[in-house]
Amino acid sequence: MPKVIGILTSGGDCPGLNAAIRGVGKAALALGMQIVGYRDGFRGLVENRFIRLDSRELSGILTLGGTILGTSRDKPYRMPVGDTDTMDMTPLAVANYHKQHLDCLVCLGGGGTQ
């Protein structure tokens, strides 16, 4: 069974996110791995919104600005729910990690992402 890598972009948009996605993705594909890209950062992981990334999706993104996955500033341990509440959604993020049989999760972003 091939290894599965999850990838997400979190925090503010910045140059180089698509290049990083492509770099991780191309290296993983060359090693026979599968890539799952989560939409809109940790929010996508919590809501299990993902796309499978293959060479077709990674082609041509090097010169595009932004991130093909989208981003958010949400953090799983303090995620906005409704207008005023926040909840710790970490258990749901971990459950979705396991649901997709991920072997690792690459989180691209700044200090807040880490």
pTM of the predicted model, to two decimals?
0.91
Note whether 69 and 11 are within 8 A (CB): no
Residue 66 has pLDDT above 90, yes or no: no
Note whether 32 and 2 are within 8 A (CB): yes
Q: What is the pLDDT of residues 79-113, one digit of tens each?
A: 988 888 999 999 999 999 999 999 999 999 877 77
Architecture of domain 4-78+100-108: 3-Layer(aba) Sandwich (3.40)
Hey, where are the domains in the chain? 4-78+100-108
% of the chain residues with pLDDT over 70: 100
Place of tokens 């290049």: 19
